[in-house]
Structure 1
Amino acid sequence: MTSESINRTKRTMAIVLTMLMLTMGLSQAASVSTYSNGQSQAIVELDDSSNYLDSTSGSILLPEGETVNAAAMVVGTQYLEYDNYDRYDAHSTGLGSYLWDPQYNGGFTLYSTSNDFSVQDETLALQSLGYNQDFESPVPFTVGPAVNGFQENNWERGMTESGFPIPKCGSGDWCYGTDFDSMNYRNEIGSYTYELTTDSIYVWGGKSQASFQSMHNLYYRNAPSSSFYYEDCAYVMVQSSTDGSSWGAFEFLPFDQSNTTGVSNGNGMYTRGTSVNQITTKCNKYSFPTGATMIGGTSNNSQTASNAGWATVGLDLSSYE
Protein backbone atom coordinates (compact mmCIF):
# COMPACT_ATOMS: atom_id res chain seq x y z
CA MET A 1 0.00 0.00 0.00
CA THR A 2 2.70 2.42 0.90
CA SER A 3 4.61 1.74 -2.27
CA GLU A 4 1.53 2.18 -4.45
CA SER A 5 0.67 5.53 -2.79
CA ILE A 6 4.14 6.85 -3.50
CA ASN A 7 3.85 5.91 -7.18
CA ARG A 8 0.55 7.72 -7.53
CA THR A 9 2.04 10.79 -5.95
CA LYS A 10 4.94 10.74 -8.43
CA ARG A 11 2.57 10.40 -11.38
CA THR A 12 0.46 13.28 -10.10
CA MET A 13 3.52 15.53 -9.72
CA ALA A 14 4.76 14.57 -13.17
CA ILE A 15 1.40 15.46 -14.72
CA VAL A 16 1.28 18.78 -12.87
CA LEU A 17 4.82 19.68 -13.96
CA THR A 18 4.08 18.73 -17.57
CA MET A 19 0.95 20.89 -17.61
CA LEU A 20 2.84 23.76 -16.02
CA MET A 21 5.59 23.59 -18.63
CA LEU A 22 3.02 23.42 -21.42
CA THR A 23 1.18 26.42 -20.02
CA MET A 24 4.39 28.45 -19.80
CA GLY A 25 5.27 27.62 -23.40
CA LEU A 26 1.90 28.78 -24.65
CA SER A 27 2.17 32.00 -22.67
CA GLN A 28 5.56 32.85 -24.19
CA ALA A 29 4.31 32.28 -27.72
CA ALA A 30 1.37 34.64 -27.34
CA SER A 31 1.76 38.18 -28.83
CA VAL A 32 -0.38 41.26 -29.45
CA SER A 33 -0.93 42.02 -33.14
CA THR A 34 -3.36 44.93 -32.76
CA TYR A 35 -3.84 47.85 -30.41
CA SER A 36 -7.09 48.88 -28.72
CA ASN A 37 -8.05 50.98 -31.75
CA GLY A 38 -7.75 47.95 -34.03
CA GLN A 39 -4.59 49.22 -35.75
CA SER A 40 -1.39 47.17 -36.09
CA GLN A 41 0.85 50.17 -35.39
CA ALA A 42 0.90 53.21 -33.17
CA ILE A 43 2.12 56.67 -34.20
CA VAL A 44 3.88 58.83 -31.63
CA GLU A 45 3.73 62.53 -32.47
CA LEU A 46 5.94 65.08 -30.77
CA ASP A 47 3.84 68.21 -30.64
CA ASP A 48 6.71 70.33 -29.40
CA SER A 49 9.66 68.76 -31.24
CA SER A 50 11.92 71.72 -30.53
CA ASN A 51 12.34 70.37 -27.02
CA TYR A 52 13.75 67.11 -28.32
CA LEU A 53 15.35 67.90 -31.70
CA ASP A 54 19.12 68.14 -32.12
CA SER A 55 19.59 70.12 -35.34
CA THR A 56 23.29 69.24 -35.58
CA SER A 57 23.07 65.44 -35.59
CA GLY A 58 19.39 65.11 -36.54
CA SER A 59 18.66 62.96 -33.49
CA ILE A 60 15.64 63.21 -31.16
CA LEU A 61 16.00 62.73 -27.43
CA LEU A 62 12.87 61.89 -25.43
CA PRO A 63 12.47 62.85 -21.78
CA GLU A 64 13.09 60.14 -19.24
CA GLY A 65 10.15 57.77 -18.89
CA GLU A 66 8.97 57.99 -22.52
CA THR A 67 9.63 55.12 -24.92
CA VAL A 68 9.36 54.66 -28.69
CA ASN A 69 9.58 51.11 -30.03
CA ALA A 70 9.97 52.13 -33.67
CA ALA A 71 10.35 55.33 -35.63
CA ALA A 72 10.46 56.50 -39.23
CA MET A 73 12.23 59.46 -40.82
CA VAL A 74 10.70 61.25 -43.79
CA VAL A 75 13.27 62.80 -46.15
CA GLY A 76 12.12 65.62 -48.38
CA THR A 77 12.91 65.64 -52.10
CA GLN A 78 13.75 69.35 -52.24
CA TYR A 79 17.35 70.44 -51.88
CA LEU A 80 19.28 73.49 -50.81
CA GLU A 81 22.36 74.97 -52.46
CA TYR A 82 25.10 76.58 -50.43
CA ASP A 83 27.66 78.87 -52.03
CA ASN A 84 30.30 80.65 -50.03
CA TYR A 85 33.96 81.52 -50.37
CA ASP A 86 36.54 83.49 -48.46
CA ARG A 87 39.24 85.47 -50.21
CA TYR A 88 42.74 85.61 -48.80
CA ASP A 89 45.25 87.85 -50.48
CA ALA A 90 47.79 90.47 -49.58
CA HIS A 91 45.16 93.25 -49.59
CA SER A 92 41.97 91.69 -48.21
CA THR A 93 43.71 90.47 -45.06
CA GLY A 94 45.80 93.55 -44.40
CA LEU A 95 48.88 91.36 -43.99
CA GLY A 96 50.48 92.59 -47.19
CA SER A 97 53.58 90.63 -48.17
CA TYR A 98 53.39 88.73 -44.87
CA LEU A 99 50.21 86.93 -45.91
CA TRP A 100 51.98 83.61 -46.56
CA ASP A 101 54.33 83.76 -43.58
CA PRO A 102 53.03 81.51 -40.75
CA GLN A 103 54.77 83.76 -38.21
CA TYR A 104 52.33 86.56 -39.08
CA ASN A 105 49.16 84.78 -40.25
CA GLY A 106 48.65 82.79 -37.06
CA GLY A 107 49.92 79.54 -38.53
CA PHE A 108 47.33 79.61 -41.33
CA THR A 109 49.93 78.28 -43.79
CA LEU A 110 52.11 75.22 -43.24
CA TYR A 111 55.23 74.23 -45.19
CA SER A 112 57.51 71.22 -45.16
CA THR A 113 60.43 73.67 -45.39
CA SER A 114 59.52 77.35 -45.37
CA ASN A 115 62.85 78.29 -46.97
CA ASP A 116 61.71 76.52 -50.15
CA PHE A 117 58.87 79.05 -50.65
CA SER A 118 58.64 82.81 -51.14
CA VAL A 119 56.69 83.27 -47.91
CA GLN A 120 57.47 86.98 -47.61
CA ASP A 121 56.25 87.99 -51.08
CA GLU A 122 52.70 88.96 -52.06
CA THR A 123 52.53 85.88 -54.31
CA LEU A 124 53.55 82.41 -53.18
CA ALA A 125 56.12 80.57 -55.29
CA LEU A 126 58.36 77.52 -54.96
CA GLN A 127 62.00 78.53 -54.88
CA SER A 128 63.69 75.30 -53.86
CA LEU A 129 65.47 75.11 -57.25
CA GLY A 130 64.91 71.37 -57.26
CA TYR A 131 64.00 68.95 -60.04
CA ASN A 132 61.46 66.14 -59.91
CA GLN A 133 60.11 63.81 -62.57
CA ASP A 134 57.82 60.80 -62.18
CA PHE A 135 56.97 60.43 -65.91
CA GLU A 136 53.20 60.94 -65.60
CA SER A 137 53.57 63.23 -68.62
CA PRO A 138 55.89 62.66 -71.60
CA VAL A 139 59.43 63.96 -71.06
CA PRO A 140 62.16 64.97 -73.53
CA PHE A 141 64.35 61.99 -72.69
CA THR A 142 66.37 60.28 -75.41
CA VAL A 143 66.47 56.49 -75.71
CA GLY A 144 69.43 54.55 -77.04
CA PRO A 145 69.94 52.74 -80.34
CA ALA A 146 67.56 50.17 -81.80
CA VAL A 147 67.55 46.75 -80.17
CA ASN A 148 67.08 43.79 -82.52
CA GLY A 149 66.16 46.22 -85.27
CA PHE A 150 63.46 48.12 -83.36
CA GLN A 151 63.91 51.47 -81.63
CA GLU A 152 60.97 50.77 -79.32
CA ASN A 153 62.82 47.74 -77.93
CA ASN A 154 65.10 50.09 -76.00
CA TRP A 155 63.90 52.02 -72.95
CA GLU A 156 60.22 52.90 -73.10
CA ARG A 157 57.71 54.83 -71.03
CA GLY A 158 54.73 52.70 -70.10
CA MET A 159 52.22 51.47 -67.54
CA THR A 160 51.82 48.12 -65.85
CA GLU A 161 48.71 46.09 -66.65
CA SER A 162 47.23 44.06 -63.80
CA GLY A 163 50.65 43.69 -62.21
CA PHE A 164 52.47 42.74 -65.44
CA PRO A 165 55.38 42.73 -66.06
CA ILE A 166 56.06 44.31 -62.63
CA PRO A 167 53.62 44.91 -59.75
CA LYS A 168 53.63 48.72 -60.07
CA CYS A 169 55.68 51.75 -60.99
CA GLY A 170 57.77 53.33 -58.26
CA SER A 171 55.78 56.59 -58.33
CA GLY A 172 52.48 57.26 -60.06
CA ASP A 173 51.11 55.17 -62.92
CA TRP A 174 53.87 55.67 -65.52
CA CYS A 175 57.55 54.76 -65.46
CA TYR A 176 60.45 53.99 -67.77
CA GLY A 177 61.32 50.33 -68.28
CA THR A 178 63.30 48.07 -70.56
CA ASP A 179 60.34 45.94 -71.63
CA PHE A 180 56.63 46.25 -70.80
CA ASP A 181 55.66 43.26 -72.97
CA SER A 182 57.81 40.50 -71.51
CA MET A 183 59.27 39.30 -68.23
CA ASN A 184 62.58 38.54 -70.00
CA TYR A 185 64.31 41.72 -71.14
CA ARG A 186 67.12 39.71 -72.76
CA ASN A 187 64.95 37.69 -75.17
CA GLU A 188 68.03 35.66 -76.17
CA ILE A 189 69.07 38.08 -78.94
CA GLY A 190 72.69 38.63 -78.00
CA SER A 191 74.41 41.53 -76.29
CA TYR A 192 73.10 45.08 -76.58
CA THR A 193 72.86 48.25 -74.52
CA TYR A 194 69.86 49.99 -73.02
CA GLU A 195 70.45 53.74 -72.83
CA LEU A 196 68.25 56.52 -71.48
CA THR A 197 69.52 60.11 -71.55
CA THR A 198 67.71 62.80 -69.56
CA ASP A 199 67.39 66.43 -70.55
CA SER A 200 69.96 68.81 -69.07
CA ILE A 201 69.58 69.79 -65.41
CA TYR A 202 71.19 72.84 -63.82
CA VAL A 203 72.83 71.96 -60.51
CA TRP A 204 72.37 74.81 -58.05
CA GLY A 205 74.77 75.38 -55.21
CA GLY A 206 73.67 73.43 -52.15
CA LYS A 207 71.14 71.46 -54.24
CA SER A 208 73.41 68.69 -55.46
CA GLN A 209 71.84 65.66 -53.76
CA ALA A 210 69.86 63.59 -56.25
CA SER A 211 68.24 60.15 -56.38
CA PHE A 212 66.23 57.86 -58.61
CA GLN A 213 64.11 54.77 -58.00
CA SER A 214 65.16 51.40 -59.39
CA MET A 215 63.30 48.11 -59.59
CA HIS A 216 65.69 45.68 -61.29
CA ASN A 217 66.24 41.98 -61.87
CA LEU A 218 69.38 41.73 -64.00
CA TYR A 219 70.80 38.52 -65.42
CA TYR A 220 73.33 36.54 -63.39
CA ARG A 221 74.58 32.96 -63.58
CA ASN A 222 75.60 30.40 -61.01
CA ALA A 223 79.18 29.96 -59.86
CA PRO A 224 80.66 27.25 -57.60
CA SER A 225 79.91 27.18 -53.86
CA SER A 226 76.57 29.00 -54.03
CA SER A 227 78.16 32.04 -55.65
CA PHE A 228 77.19 34.00 -58.75
CA TYR A 229 78.59 35.90 -61.71
CA TYR A 230 76.68 39.13 -62.36
CA GLU A 231 77.04 39.64 -66.10
CA ASP A 232 74.48 42.41 -66.66
CA CYS A 233 74.89 45.76 -64.94
CA ALA A 234 73.42 49.25 -64.74
CA TYR A 235 75.16 52.53 -63.93
CA VAL A 236 74.96 56.32 -64.36
CA MET A 237 77.17 58.41 -66.65
CA VAL A 238 77.10 62.21 -66.79
CA GLN A 239 78.17 64.96 -69.18
CA SER A 240 78.89 68.42 -67.84
CA SER A 241 79.02 71.88 -69.35
CA THR A 242 79.81 75.33 -67.98
CA ASP A 243 77.87 77.20 -70.68
CA GLY A 244 75.10 74.76 -71.61
CA SER A 245 76.38 74.27 -75.15
CA SER A 246 79.88 72.77 -74.98
CA TRP A 247 79.59 69.33 -73.41
CA GLY A 248 82.43 67.12 -72.23
CA ALA A 249 82.70 63.36 -72.55
CA PHE A 250 80.56 61.03 -70.47
CA GLU A 251 82.00 60.28 -67.03
CA PHE A 252 81.16 57.49 -64.62
CA LEU A 253 79.19 58.78 -61.59
CA PRO A 254 79.52 56.65 -58.43
CA PHE A 255 76.39 55.96 -56.42
CA ASP A 256 75.96 57.84 -53.16
CA GLN A 257 75.42 54.82 -50.93
CA SER A 258 74.92 56.99 -47.84
CA ASN A 259 71.68 58.23 -49.44
CA THR A 260 70.66 54.87 -50.93
CA THR A 261 67.94 52.70 -49.40
CA GLY A 262 66.69 49.22 -50.30
CA VAL A 263 69.91 48.03 -51.94
CA SER A 264 73.56 48.10 -50.90
CA ASN A 265 76.91 46.68 -51.93
CA GLY A 266 76.41 42.90 -52.06
CA ASN A 267 72.61 43.22 -52.17
CA GLY A 268 71.34 44.61 -55.48
CA MET A 269 74.69 46.40 -56.00
CA TYR A 270 78.08 44.82 -56.66
CA THR A 271 81.64 45.89 -57.43
CA ARG A 272 83.06 45.24 -60.87
CA GLY A 273 85.88 42.69 -60.96
CA THR A 274 86.98 39.21 -61.93
CA SER A 275 85.95 37.26 -58.83
CA VAL A 276 82.67 35.55 -58.01
CA ASN A 277 79.84 37.68 -56.60
CA GLN A 278 81.04 40.65 -58.66
CA ILE A 279 79.95 42.44 -61.81
CA THR A 280 81.95 40.70 -64.54
CA THR A 281 84.15 42.48 -67.06
CA LYS A 282 81.56 41.70 -69.74
CA CYS A 283 80.05 44.97 -68.54
CA ASN A 284 82.59 46.99 -70.55
CA LYS A 285 80.97 49.67 -72.72
CA TYR A 286 83.02 52.37 -70.95
CA SER A 287 86.28 52.48 -69.07
CA PHE A 288 85.19 52.17 -65.47
CA PRO A 289 87.21 52.99 -62.34
CA THR A 290 88.74 50.02 -60.53
CA GLY A 291 86.29 48.58 -58.03
CA ALA A 292 83.36 50.62 -59.34
CA THR A 293 80.03 49.74 -57.71
CA MET A 294 77.17 49.09 -60.13
CA ILE A 295 73.59 47.93 -60.01
CA GLY A 296 73.32 44.17 -60.52
CA GLY A 297 71.28 41.17 -59.50
CA THR A 298 67.87 41.99 -58.07
CA SER A 299 66.36 44.73 -55.95
CA ASN A 300 63.72 42.34 -54.59
CA ASN A 301 64.57 41.78 -50.94
CA SER A 302 63.12 42.21 -47.46
CA GLN A 303 64.00 45.92 -47.43
CA THR A 304 62.03 46.70 -50.59
CA ALA A 305 59.16 44.24 -50.10
CA SER A 306 56.80 46.96 -48.86
CA ASN A 307 57.43 48.97 -52.06
CA ALA A 308 57.10 46.11 -54.58
CA GLY A 309 60.87 45.81 -55.03
CA TRP A 310 61.63 49.48 -55.69
CA ALA A 311 64.83 50.86 -54.15
CA THR A 312 66.04 54.46 -53.97
CA VAL A 313 69.55 55.05 -55.33
CA GLY A 314 71.38 58.22 -54.31
CA LEU A 315 73.64 60.41 -56.46
CA ASP A 316 76.08 63.12 -55.37
CA LEU A 317 76.32 65.95 -57.92
CA SER A 318 78.30 68.36 -55.73
CA SER A 319 81.31 68.28 -58.06
CA TYR A 320 79.08 69.74 -60.81
CA GLU A 321 77.72 72.75 -58.90
Structure 2
Amino acid sequence: MWQVVTSFRLLRDASAPPVHRPWLRQVRPRMAGGWLAELVPASGFWPYFLNPAPAGASPELRDETSAILAAGPGRVRHDLDHLERHQGRLGPRARALYRSPETHLPRLVEEIHAYWELALAPYWARVRTLLDADVLFRARQVAERGAGEVLNDLHGSVRWDGTALHLVRRTRPLPRAAAGPGLLLAPSAFTGPRLLSRIVPPDPPQLAYPARGIGTLWEPGPAGGTEALAVVLGRSRARLLAELDAPASTTQLARRTGLAPSGVSRYLTALRDAGLVSAHRAGRSVLYARTAAAETLLAAAASRH
Protein backbone atom coordinates (compact mmCIF):
# COMPACT_ATOMS: atom_id res chain seq x y z
CA MET A 1 0.00 0.00 0.00
CA TRP A 2 2.96 2.37 0.39
CA GLN A 3 3.56 1.93 -3.34
CA VAL A 4 -0.15 2.40 -4.11
CA VAL A 5 -0.55 5.60 -2.12
CA THR A 6 2.74 7.26 -3.04
CA SER A 7 2.39 6.41 -6.75
CA PHE A 8 -1.18 7.74 -6.82
CA ARG A 9 -0.02 10.94 -5.17
CA LEU A 10 2.78 11.25 -7.70
CA LEU A 11 0.27 11.02 -10.55
CA ARG A 12 -1.53 14.07 -9.12
CA ASP A 13 1.66 16.09 -8.63
CA ALA A 14 2.35 18.49 -11.50
CA SER A 15 5.97 18.80 -10.31
CA ALA A 16 6.67 15.05 -10.13
CA PRO A 17 10.36 14.09 -10.38
CA PRO A 18 11.54 13.83 -14.01
CA VAL A 19 12.81 10.29 -13.41
CA HIS A 20 9.21 9.05 -13.40
CA ARG A 21 8.16 10.72 -16.66
CA PRO A 22 8.12 7.48 -18.72
CA TRP A 23 5.71 5.90 -16.21
CA LEU A 24 3.63 9.06 -15.84
CA ARG A 25 3.22 9.43 -19.62
CA GLN A 26 1.81 5.92 -19.85
CA VAL A 27 -0.39 5.88 -16.76
CA ARG A 28 -1.86 9.39 -16.50
CA PRO A 29 -4.05 9.12 -19.64
CA ARG A 30 -5.68 5.99 -18.21
CA MET A 31 -6.51 7.49 -14.82
CA ALA A 32 -9.87 8.75 -13.58
CA GLY A 33 -11.18 10.27 -10.36
CA GLY A 34 -12.70 8.19 -7.58
CA TRP A 35 -12.31 7.27 -3.93
CA LEU A 36 -8.53 7.58 -3.95
CA ALA A 37 -8.70 11.03 -5.53
CA GLU A 38 -10.62 12.28 -2.48
CA LEU A 39 -8.53 10.46 0.10
CA VAL A 40 -5.00 10.97 -1.26
CA PRO A 41 -4.18 14.63 -1.97
CA ALA A 42 -1.19 15.64 -4.05
CA SER A 43 0.56 16.72 -0.86
CA GLY A 44 0.07 16.61 2.86
CA PHE A 45 -1.79 14.13 5.06
CA TRP A 46 -3.65 11.07 3.84
CA PRO A 47 -5.57 8.63 6.07
CA TYR A 48 -3.34 6.31 8.05
CA PHE A 49 -5.74 3.40 7.66
CA LEU A 50 -4.61 3.17 4.01
CA ASN A 51 -1.17 2.03 5.21
CA PRO A 52 -1.74 -0.84 7.65
CA ALA A 53 1.30 -2.40 9.23
CA PRO A 54 2.35 -5.23 6.87
CA ALA A 55 2.37 -8.74 8.27
CA GLY A 56 5.76 -9.61 6.75
CA ALA A 57 8.62 -8.46 4.56
CA SER A 58 6.81 -9.13 1.27
CA PRO A 59 3.08 -8.59 1.81
CA GLU A 60 0.58 -9.23 -0.95
CA LEU A 61 -1.85 -6.48 -1.91
CA ARG A 62 -4.86 -8.58 -0.82
CA ASP A 63 -3.34 -9.00 2.64
CA GLU A 64 -3.09 -5.25 3.07
CA THR A 65 -6.52 -4.47 1.61
CA SER A 66 -7.96 -7.08 3.99
CA ALA A 67 -6.43 -5.04 6.81
CA ILE A 68 -8.06 -1.91 5.37
CA LEU A 69 -11.43 -3.69 5.36
CA ALA A 70 -10.83 -4.60 9.00
CA ALA A 71 -10.13 -0.99 10.04
CA GLY A 72 -12.59 -0.05 12.76
CA PRO A 73 -15.07 2.81 12.22
CA GLY A 74 -13.30 4.79 14.93
CA ARG A 75 -9.97 4.58 13.10
CA VAL A 76 -11.54 5.56 9.78
CA ARG A 77 -13.44 8.53 11.22
CA HIS A 78 -10.42 9.72 13.21
CA ASP A 79 -8.30 9.79 10.05
CA LEU A 80 -11.02 11.49 8.01
CA ASP A 81 -11.39 14.17 10.70
CA HIS A 82 -7.64 14.74 10.40
CA LEU A 83 -7.89 14.86 6.59
CA GLU A 84 -10.68 17.45 6.81
CA ARG A 85 -8.57 19.65 9.11
CA HIS A 86 -5.75 19.55 6.55
CA GLN A 87 -7.87 19.93 3.39
CA GLY A 88 -10.66 22.19 4.66
CA ARG A 89 -13.47 19.90 3.50
CA LEU A 90 -14.21 16.31 2.58
CA GLY A 91 -15.47 15.26 -0.83
CA PRO A 92 -18.80 13.42 -1.24
CA ARG A 93 -17.23 9.95 -1.25
CA ALA A 94 -15.14 10.71 1.82
CA ARG A 95 -18.25 11.99 3.63
CA ALA A 96 -20.13 8.82 2.70
CA LEU A 97 -17.21 6.76 4.00
CA TYR A 98 -17.32 8.75 7.24
CA ARG A 99 -21.03 8.05 7.69
CA SER A 100 -20.78 4.32 6.97
CA PRO A 101 -17.28 2.83 6.83
CA GLU A 102 -18.62 -0.75 6.74
CA THR A 103 -20.63 0.00 3.61
CA HIS A 104 -18.04 1.95 1.65
CA LEU A 105 -14.67 0.40 2.57
CA PRO A 106 -15.34 -2.53 0.17
CA ARG A 107 -15.86 -0.02 -2.67
CA LEU A 108 -12.61 1.73 -1.79
CA VAL A 109 -10.76 -1.59 -1.75
CA GLU A 110 -12.27 -2.52 -5.13
CA GLU A 111 -10.89 0.73 -6.56
CA ILE A 112 -7.47 0.09 -5.00
CA HIS A 113 -7.27 -3.26 -6.80
CA ALA A 114 -8.39 -1.66 -10.07
CA TYR A 115 -5.73 1.05 -9.67
CA TRP A 116 -3.08 -1.58 -8.94
CA GLU A 117 -3.95 -3.50 -12.09
CA LEU A 118 -3.83 -0.34 -14.17
CA ALA A 119 -0.88 1.58 -12.77
CA LEU A 120 1.42 -0.82 -10.92
CA ALA A 121 0.92 -4.47 -11.89
CA PRO A 122 2.33 -4.06 -15.44
CA TYR A 123 5.45 -2.45 -13.98
CA TRP A 124 5.73 -4.50 -10.81
CA ALA A 125 8.63 -6.71 -11.95
CA ARG A 126 10.83 -3.61 -12.24
CA VAL A 127 9.55 -1.98 -9.04
CA ARG A 128 9.84 -5.17 -7.00
CA THR A 129 13.42 -5.74 -8.22
CA LEU A 130 14.33 -2.22 -7.09
CA LEU A 131 12.74 -2.68 -3.65
CA ASP A 132 14.27 -6.12 -3.11
CA ALA A 133 17.72 -4.78 -3.98
CA ASP A 134 17.32 -2.02 -1.40
CA VAL A 135 16.22 -4.49 1.28
CA LEU A 136 19.22 -6.74 0.56
CA PHE A 137 21.57 -3.76 0.75
CA ARG A 138 20.13 -2.66 4.10
CA ALA A 139 20.31 -6.21 5.44
CA ARG A 140 24.00 -6.33 4.55
CA GLN A 141 24.54 -2.99 6.26
CA VAL A 142 22.97 -4.35 9.44
CA ALA A 143 25.08 -7.51 9.30
CA GLU A 144 28.35 -5.69 8.70
CA ARG A 145 27.97 -2.42 10.62
CA GLY A 146 24.81 -2.58 12.74
CA ALA A 147 21.38 -0.98 12.63
CA GLY A 148 22.78 2.48 13.41
CA GLU A 149 24.55 2.48 10.04
CA VAL A 150 21.26 1.77 8.27
CA LEU A 151 19.41 4.54 10.07
CA ASN A 152 22.11 7.15 9.46
CA ASP A 153 22.32 6.20 5.77
CA LEU A 154 18.56 6.04 5.24
CA HIS A 155 17.69 9.67 4.51
CA GLY A 156 19.02 13.15 5.20
CA SER A 157 16.19 13.84 7.65
CA VAL A 158 16.98 10.82 9.87
CA ARG A 159 19.74 10.66 12.46
CA TRP A 160 20.53 7.99 15.06
CA ASP A 161 22.77 9.20 17.92
CA GLY A 162 23.14 5.84 19.64
CA THR A 163 20.26 6.35 22.06
CA ALA A 164 17.50 8.10 20.09
CA LEU A 165 16.21 8.46 16.55
CA HIS A 166 15.86 12.08 15.41
CA LEU A 167 13.49 13.05 12.57
CA VAL A 168 13.95 16.51 11.11
CA ARG A 169 10.76 18.60 11.05
CA ARG A 170 8.93 16.30 13.44
CA THR A 171 7.96 18.70 16.22
CA ARG A 172 6.38 16.26 18.67
CA PRO A 173 8.51 13.74 20.57
CA LEU A 174 7.66 10.06 20.25
CA PRO A 175 8.47 8.22 23.48
CA ARG A 176 9.53 4.60 23.04
CA ALA A 177 6.78 3.42 25.38
CA ALA A 178 4.09 5.02 23.20
CA ALA A 179 5.46 4.07 19.80
CA GLY A 180 4.60 0.40 19.43
CA PRO A 181 7.16 -2.41 19.08
CA GLY A 182 10.06 -2.11 16.65
CA LEU A 183 10.54 0.18 13.67
CA LEU A 184 9.36 -0.70 10.17
CA LEU A 185 11.38 0.61 7.22
CA ALA A 186 9.58 0.65 3.86
CA PRO A 187 11.58 1.43 0.72
CA SER A 188 9.46 3.07 -1.94
CA ALA A 189 9.85 3.78 -5.64
CA PHE A 190 7.46 6.73 -5.57
CA THR A 191 8.04 8.88 -2.48
CA GLY A 192 10.19 11.36 -4.37
CA PRO A 193 12.96 12.90 -2.25
CA ARG A 194 10.85 12.91 0.93
CA LEU A 195 10.80 10.62 3.93
CA LEU A 196 7.25 9.75 4.99
CA SER A 197 6.08 8.39 8.33
CA ARG A 198 3.11 6.58 9.79
CA ILE A 199 3.00 6.63 13.59
CA VAL A 200 -0.15 5.01 14.93
CA PRO A 201 0.36 3.14 18.22
CA PRO A 202 0.14 0.28 18.99
CA ASP A 203 1.48 -0.47 15.48
CA PRO A 204 5.23 -0.11 15.01
CA PRO A 205 6.24 3.26 13.55
CA GLN A 206 6.72 3.11 9.77
CA LEU A 207 9.23 5.14 7.77
CA ALA A 208 8.90 5.11 3.99
CA TYR A 209 12.03 6.32 2.22
CA PRO A 210 13.28 6.53 -1.39
CA ALA A 211 14.75 3.20 -2.45
CA ARG A 212 18.31 3.18 -3.77
CA GLY A 213 18.72 3.21 -7.54
CA ILE A 214 15.46 4.96 -8.46
CA GLY A 215 17.31 6.83 -11.21
CA THR A 216 17.61 3.58 -13.17
CA LEU A 217 14.05 2.35 -12.60
CA TRP A 218 12.60 3.27 -15.99
CA GLU A 219 15.76 2.92 -18.07
CA PRO A 220 15.35 0.67 -21.13
CA GLY A 221 16.45 -2.91 -20.58
CA PRO A 222 19.48 -4.44 -22.26
CA ALA A 223 19.23 -4.16 -26.05
CA GLY A 224 21.83 -6.75 -26.94
CA GLY A 225 21.40 -10.50 -26.78
CA THR A 226 18.13 -10.85 -28.69
CA GLU A 227 19.88 -12.80 -31.43
CA ALA A 228 21.01 -15.37 -28.89
CA LEU A 229 17.50 -15.52 -27.41
CA ALA A 230 16.01 -15.89 -30.87
CA VAL A 231 17.78 -19.23 -31.21
CA VAL A 232 15.97 -20.45 -28.09
CA LEU A 233 12.62 -18.64 -28.24
CA GLY A 234 12.27 -17.89 -31.92
CA ARG A 235 12.93 -14.53 -33.58
CA SER A 236 9.42 -13.11 -33.18
CA ARG A 237 9.08 -14.03 -29.49
CA ALA A 238 12.53 -12.61 -28.73
CA ARG A 239 11.63 -9.41 -30.61
CA LEU A 240 8.42 -9.02 -28.61
CA LEU A 241 10.28 -9.43 -25.33
CA ALA A 242 12.76 -6.78 -26.41
CA GLU A 243 9.90 -4.40 -27.31
CA LEU A 244 8.33 -4.71 -23.86
CA ASP A 245 10.58 -2.22 -22.09
CA ALA A 246 7.24 -0.58 -21.28
CA PRO A 247 3.93 -2.45 -21.10
CA ALA A 248 2.08 -2.48 -24.42
CA SER A 249 -1.05 -3.88 -26.03
CA THR A 250 -1.22 -6.41 -28.86
CA THR A 251 -2.12 -3.62 -31.31
CA GLN A 252 0.82 -1.46 -30.23
CA LEU A 253 3.25 -4.35 -30.51
CA ALA A 254 1.93 -5.33 -33.94
CA ARG A 255 2.36 -1.75 -35.14
CA ARG A 256 5.92 -1.51 -33.83
CA THR A 257 7.13 -4.90 -35.04
CA GLY A 258 5.23 -5.28 -38.29
CA LEU A 259 3.89 -8.64 -37.17
CA ALA A 260 0.26 -9.56 -37.73
CA PRO A 261 -1.92 -8.93 -34.64
CA SER A 262 -3.02 -12.58 -34.65
CA GLY A 263 0.61 -13.69 -34.59
CA VAL A 264 1.49 -11.25 -31.82
CA SER A 265 -1.42 -12.57 -29.77
CA ARG A 266 -0.29 -16.16 -30.30
CA TYR A 267 3.33 -15.41 -29.39
CA LEU A 268 2.32 -13.45 -26.28
CA THR A 269 0.17 -16.36 -25.12
CA ALA A 270 3.18 -18.67 -25.45
CA LEU A 271 5.41 -16.22 -23.57
CA ARG A 272 2.78 -15.85 -20.87
CA ASP A 273 2.47 -19.62 -20.50
CA ALA A 274 6.27 -19.75 -20.07
CA GLY A 275 6.17 -17.14 -17.28
CA LEU A 276 8.01 -14.49 -19.31
CA VAL A 277 5.08 -12.13 -19.87
CA SER A 278 2.16 -11.04 -17.69
CA ALA A 279 -1.15 -9.57 -18.86
CA HIS A 280 -3.04 -6.72 -17.16
CA ARG A 281 -6.38 -5.20 -18.12
CA ALA A 282 -6.42 -1.41 -18.60
CA GLY A 283 -9.94 -0.35 -19.55
CA ARG A 284 -10.77 -2.01 -22.85
CA SER A 285 -7.16 -2.94 -23.54
CA VAL A 286 -4.88 -5.64 -22.16
CA LEU A 287 -1.31 -4.55 -21.48
CA TYR A 288 1.50 -7.08 -21.62
CA ALA A 289 4.62 -6.68 -19.50
CA ARG A 290 7.87 -8.53 -19.03
CA THR A 291 8.15 -10.53 -15.83
CA ALA A 292 11.19 -10.58 -13.56
CA ALA A 293 12.17 -13.90 -15.17
CA ALA A 294 12.18 -12.26 -18.61
CA GLU A 295 14.28 -9.35 -17.34
CA THR A 296 16.82 -11.81 -15.96
CA LEU A 297 16.85 -13.76 -19.23
CA LEU A 298 17.44 -10.64 -21.33
CA ALA A 299 20.16 -9.38 -18.99
CA ALA A 300 21.94 -12.75 -19.09
CA ALA A 301 21.78 -12.87 -22.88
CA ALA A 302 23.03 -9.28 -23.16
CA SER A 303 25.96 -9.94 -20.84
CA ARG A 304 27.22 -12.64 -23.21
CA HIS A 305 26.58 -10.60 -26.34
Q: TM-score of the superposition, structure 2-length normalised?
A: 0.21
Q: Which has the higher helix share?
A: 2
In the superposition, the TM-score normalised over structure 1's length comes to: 0.20
The structure whose Rg is larger is 1
Q: Which has the higher contact order (CA 8 A, sep 6+)?
A: 2
